[in-house]
Amino acid sequence: MQALGWYYPESLGGTEVYVAGLCRGLRAAGHDVFIAAPDPAHTVERTYEYEGIPVLRYPIPSHPTRDECQGRVPVRGTDRFHEFLLATQPDVVHFHTLLTGLGLPELWAARAAGARTIVTTHTSSLGYVCQRGTMMRWGKTLCDGVCQPAKCAACELEHRGLPKALASLVGVAPKALAELASELPGKIGTALAMSSLIAHNQSLQRGVFAIADRFVVLTRWALDALIANGAPVEKLALNRLGVSHENASSKPSPSTRPTKPPIKIGYLGRFDPIKGVYDLARALVALPSDLSFEMEFRGPANRDEDRQVLNELRGLLKGDKRVTFAPPVEQHEVSDVLRSYDVLCCPSVCLEGGPTVAIEAHAAGTPVIGTRIGGLAELVEDDVTGRLVAPGDWRALSKVLNQLITDPHNTIDRWRRALPPARTMAAITADYLTLYAA
Q: Is the pTM of this model over 0.85?
A: yes
- Is 3.40.50.2000 the CATH classification of the domain at 2-120+212-240+426-437? yes
Residue 174 pLDDT more than 80?
yes
For position 306, what pLDDT does the model report? 92
Backbone angles phi, psi at 366, to 5 degrees: -110, 120
Bridge-based pairing state of the strands 2-3 and 92-95:
parallel
Give the pLDDT band of residue 245 (cuts 50, 70, 90): low
In the chain, CATH 3.40.50.2000 sits at 2-120+212-240+426-437, 263-418
Give the pLDDT band of residue 332 (cuts 50, 70, 90): confident
For position 433, what pLDDT does the model report? 97
Over residues 204-228, the pLDDT tens digits come to 999 999 999 999 999 999 999 999 9
CATH class of 263-418: alpha beta
Residue 375 three-state SS = helix
CA–CA distances in Å: residue 221 to residues 150, 152, 313, 377, 378: 23, 19, 31, 10, 9
Bridge-based pairing state of the strands 2-3 and 116-120:
unpaired
Which residues make beta-bridge pairs with 95? 3, 119
Question: Cα separation of 249 and 336, whole Å?
Answer: 9
Over residues 151-160, the pLDDT tens digits come to 999 999 999 9
More confident position, 12 or 295: 295
